[in-house]
Structure 1
Amino acid sequence: MPTTIQKQQLFVASCLALLVTSLSFGIRAGILGQLGTEFQLNASELSTIAATAFWGFPLAVIVGGFVVDIIGMKKLLVAAFVFHLAGILLTIFAGGFWSLFISTLLIGIANGTVEAACNPLVAAIYPDNKTTKLNHFHLWFPGGIVIGTLIVFFLSKAGIGWHIQVGLMIIPTLLYGFLFSKLQFPVTERVASGVSTADMYKALLNPLFLFMMVCMLGTAITELFTGQWIEVLLKNVTDNALLILTITTGVMVVGRGLAEPVVHKLSPTGVLLISAILATAGLYLLGHSAGNMVYAGALVFGMGVCYFWPTMLGFVAEYLPKTGAVGLNLMGGAGMFAVSMYTMVMGSKYDSLLQQKLPAGSSLADYTAAPAGSEMANALVAAKTAAGPEIINLTLMIPIALVIAFAGLFIYMRGKSKPSLS
């Protein structure tokens, strides 16, 4: 087992790796519109590119979950470093849809590989404080999105192009690659405790684990689809759509940093129930507000989704520990796969809504290509202003279902103690 100092260094390096993951989300969310304009891509094509990161992630996180106990966490993180570097460079030199598609896929695979190694790593080095430390680790996801969106905002204002904005991700990538190459890694907690592979697979069939997997689909879509698409959906509702993402993720950073007293006071199930209620209220405000109330919605929504991802993982790590690294990574993979599918479906739905709101028989492509300020361009802006909130209102059904699911979970888990791995 690594020393206390090495544990801290492993945790810092893990946070840097997750920072690269989140920067890729934040910067891509900020430049999605620019990519659409430069490469003449419609919403369906943009949603396919954005969704690629979400299904590259589950591909890597699930495969990584099955092999992490065999090859070790260090080798997985070397692979993540290589995929991150390749994906960033290919994005910088992209020439159109397919190069953006492949580069986003590589970054998605890298992101999933980081989670496949780092989630069980954090659980292994902090076995007595898993949910809190997973929240502290995952604060770097919204933290990186805040940094990424601010990079896009200020560099775009300064006239610095998206190529340089993407290129800045190389710096933390090189840093985490260097740090991990020097450190000693522990084995996963499941291996250290002597739980057999057969017992692990048996634990994966536990009805409680399957229930949490289903809930993970909803929590991931609620948090990540909304965050990735907020700039597109609300761009014409407010002049500072990207600021909504910054507010949401800023609240998440603070909330996850203060996770310890919250989790200990409310329990993981209490945190999930309150989170679902707040996420529902926040998403409702985002889809039914204008002006400054949109920012109030972003604040409430950020409070809602703040604890979703790390607390879902923390619940599985604490109450279903025999599922091991595979259990954690199946949860993450299922969540990201759901987001990828939902993003592609909603991208097509968004284009369909735009088409319905334009004059009958007109071509969406013609309106998209119309010069700014023209009658056709203004008609498209009006269509987008109406269509974006409609997509948000469709998504609202998901956190409403989560409120019911987590209320049931809260009642079921009352009085139950954490099981032992021994």
Structure 2
Amino acid sequence: MTTTLSDQPIAPNAKRLLWAGFMAILAAGVGFAIRNGINAAWSQEFGFTNLQKGLIGGAGFSGFCFGIIIGGVIVDRIGYGKLIISAFLFHVLSAVVTLMPNGGMEQQTAFLLLFTGTFIFSLANGTLEAVANPLVATLFPNNRTHYLNILHASWPLGMILGALITLAVGNQWSWKAQLGLYLLPTVIYGFMFMGQKFPRSDASASGLSLGEMMKEVGILGASVAGFLLYLFTRDAVGENILAGLTNSDFFTGDSWNYISMAVGAGFVLWVAVITKFAIGHWLLFVLFIAHAILGSLELGTDSWIENINGTILTPELGKILFIFACAIMFGLRFCSHWIEDKLKLSPIAILFSCSLFAIAGLYLAAGATGVTAAFGAMFIYSIGKTFFWPTMLAVVGDRFPRTGAVAMSIMGGIGMLSVGQLGGPGLGYAKDRFTAEHMEESGYGEVLQANKAEKPSSWMGFAEVTALDGKKLEEAKHLKKEDRTAEQQAMVESEIAGSRKTLRHDAILPIGMAVIYLLLLIYFKATGGYKALRITPEEASGGVKGPAGF
């Protein structure tokens, strides 16, 4: 059933809280873009492979998962204020850890510090979003898609500011000086949240317990998060942190794999117990799957698109294209209300349309050979990715009000874990692999062997490949074509070919999303259309099963 609501927010300080959340996510976007812009400097200083850079970038999302899931579970119990203080402290700690590496360190030590500092930074960001998403959904219950898109317009704006910083001062400032600038918006959001009174979610206000909120997530939904937690524990924690710290094979062997399985299964078991073994709603399970793909597409691609465009064209044009794409996202996220009202598109129809734009944009970007074609491809791709994340959050808020902040936070965590374990490292591995394959096929095998990285690239059971040394590759890319040796030119040409092939394979993700959203469109058409649902007094008292029940 649906309930007619006022278009007005439910609290007098709603706009203040909206813009405080806006600034918090902006800080995350600034840090993300600056990291994208300085990863070439990390390659030059420490000799990282594309896979290693992808793993560090992935940590910028994996930690987010823990912050948003844990925060989403406890936010209605401890209040928004305590979570905001925790996030602020995590942001300060992340700066201390991330700025510790120096050129005299061993590569593995530098990698571990950058990985850990990036993880803590993303933990802070996730904790903040555990506050911002349910808060805005609660403050504007009849306009969730519109206001959640406004909230998340701060992400591309933050990326624009971060990219402009690296473009303006990248050659004059050290990477440490650039990265430290994300603390400025951090201080601002702290002041904006200070002293504010926060509302409670519908589920919390209705007196629903955590177990009742989690019933629609159930075993099905928890299994998606549990699988990604398994991958995180096995790969990020075991292989890339503990194995490096201890030089032990234990963390890369079968025993650690079983421990990692126990971590993922333990989360599923915990959800099963507190929900009295509820299966969960099939629609929420499908949305979780779609969001895992979405995270790898949108944020995984974002973490590499500047690098890939910079490889195909020039590093400076790569930054400009990245800023251009973010500017389109920023502007369009203020237009979702118009799209719903004037074009009469439901949130699911918006998501399906976005998938088609993303497919076309990635294929066009892979084939772009000039500046005009590259800008056209990024324009189309940016239209596609603009509405994905906030609109998915709005769908969960609309269709599953009984879950409170929990389902929204778990879905956000799934998207971020997917980037950290699948999207970021996967695209880095793909770039290493396709570059190496092109070198072998073009007769540059000896060049590859003479310029190979310390460690080969391997990911998710795919074949181990020889990767180019990051220092040598960056040195070659920064030389003019006429100044390169034959070996250096072979490396640069091969990475361009590898980048193009990576983008073409990346387009598989929005194809899968388009299929899912098309099936959901058919489902809602057959069941009377998409409607936002509300908790009735009977549901709040536990007398009847909610309208979205399984």
- The one-letter code of the counterpart of 2:184 is I
Q: Is the 8 A contact 1:135 1:259 kept in 2?
A: yes
Q: Please name the residue that 1:322 is paired with.
A: 402
What SS does structure 2 have at the residue aligned with 1:421? coil
CA–CA separation in structure 1 for the residues paired with 2:398 and 2:326? 26
Aligned pair partner of 1:335 in 410, 415, 440? 415
Q: Is the 8 A contact 2:73 2:210 kept in 1?
A: no
- Once the 2 structures are TM-superposed, how far is the Cα of residue 69 of structure 1 from its aligned partner? 1.6
Worse-matched range after superposition: 220-229 or 412-421: 412-421
What SS does structure 2 have at the residue aligned with 1:236? helix
Aligned pair partner of 1:230 in 261, 285, 305? 305
Q: Which blocks of at least 5 consecutive residues in structure 1 are unaligned?
A: none
Q: Is the 8 A contact 1:233 1:387 kept in 2?
A: no
Q: Please name the residue that 2:51 is paired with.
A: 44
Residue 348 (structure 1) aligned with residue 348 (structure 2): no
Residue 360 (structure 1) aligned with residue 459 (structure 2): no
Q: Please name the residue that 1:185 is paired with.
A: 198
Deviations 1:42-63 (A, max 9, x none): 2121111111111111122111
CA–CA separation in structure 2 for the residues paired with 1:219 and 1:47? 17
Residue 394 (structure 1) aligned with residue 407 (structure 2): no
What SS does structure 2 have at the residue aligned with 1:168? helix
CA–CA separation in structure 2 for the residues paired with 1:368 and 1:192? 53
Q: Is the 8 A contact 2:60 2:122 kept in 1?
A: yes
Aligned positions, number: 420
CA–CA separation in structure 2 for the residues paired with 1:348 and 1:307? 28
Residue 299 (structure 1) aligned with residue 386 (structure 2): no
Q: 1:236 to 1:185 in 2, by over 3 A?
A: same
Q: Please name the residue that 2:522 is paired with.
A: 411
Aligned pair partner of 1:133 in 147, 152, 177? 147
CA–CA separation in structure 2 for the residues paired with 1:123 and 1:3? 11
* Bigger proportion of residues as helix: 1
Q: What does residue range 267-306 of structure 1 map to in structure 2 within 5 Å?
A: 267-291=346-370, 292-306=372-386
- Once the 2 structures are TM-superposed, how far is the Cα of residue 368 of structure 1 from its aligned partner? 4.5
Q: Is the 8 A contact 2:326 2:382 kept in 1?
A: yes
TM-score by length of 1: 0.95
Aligned pair partner of 1:248 in 314, 320, 325? 325
Q: Is the 8 A contact 1:151 1:165 kept in 2?
A: yes
Deviations 1:18-75 (A, max 9, x none): 1111111111111111121122212121111111111111122111111112111211
Aligned pair partner of 2:177 in 157, 161, 164? 164
- The one-letter code of the counterpart of 1:72 is G
Deviations 1:355-379 (A, max 9, x none): 3333225142376444542332221
- The one-letter code of the counterpart of 1:294 is A
CA–CA separation in structure 2 for the residues paired with 1:179 and 1:145? 21
Q: Is the 8 A contact 1:66 1:326 kept in 2?
A: yes
Q: Is the 8 A contact 2:45 2:471 kept in 1?
A: no
Q: Is the 8 A contact 1:279 1:305 kept in 2?
A: yes
Deviations 1:300-320 (A, max 9, x none): 000000000000000110112
Deviations 1:147-199 (A, max 9, x none): 11111111125x22322221211111111112223212222231113334343
- The one-letter code of the counterpart of 2:353 is I
Q: Is the 8 A contact 2:42 2:48 kept in 1?
A: yes
What SS does structure 2 have at the residue aligned with 1:235? helix
Deviations 1:66-89 (A, max 9, x none): 111211121111111111122123
Q: Which blocks of at least 5 consecutive residues in structure 2 are unaligned?
A: 1-8, 103-109, 218-279, 454-467, 477-483, 537-550
Q: Is the 8 A contact 1:88 1:169 kept in 2?
A: no
Q: Is the 8 A contact 2:11 2:139 kept in 1?
A: no
What SS does structure 2 have at the residue aligned with 1:184? coil
Q: Is the 8 A contact 1:368 1:377 kept in 2?
A: no
Q: Please name the residue that 2:214 is paired with.
A: 201
CA–CA separation in structure 2 for the residues paired with 1:110 and 1:153? 26
Q: Is the 8 A contact 1:195 1:421 kept in 2?
A: no
CA–CA separation in structure 2 for the residues paired with 1:178 and 1:132? 25
TM-score by length of 2: 0.73
Q: Please name the residue that 1:421 is paired with.
A: 535
Aligned pair partner of 1:35 in 27, 30, 42? 42
- The one-letter code of the counterpart of 2:36 is A
CA–CA separation in structure 2 for the residues paired with 1:174 and 1:238? 37
- Once the 2 structures are TM-superposed, how far is the Cα of residue 3 of structure 1 from its aligned partner? 8.3
Q: Please name the residue that 1:155 is paired with.
A: 169
CA–CA separation in structure 1 for the residues paired with 2:176 and 2:151? 28
Q: Is the 8 A contact 1:84 1:107 kept in 2?
A: yes
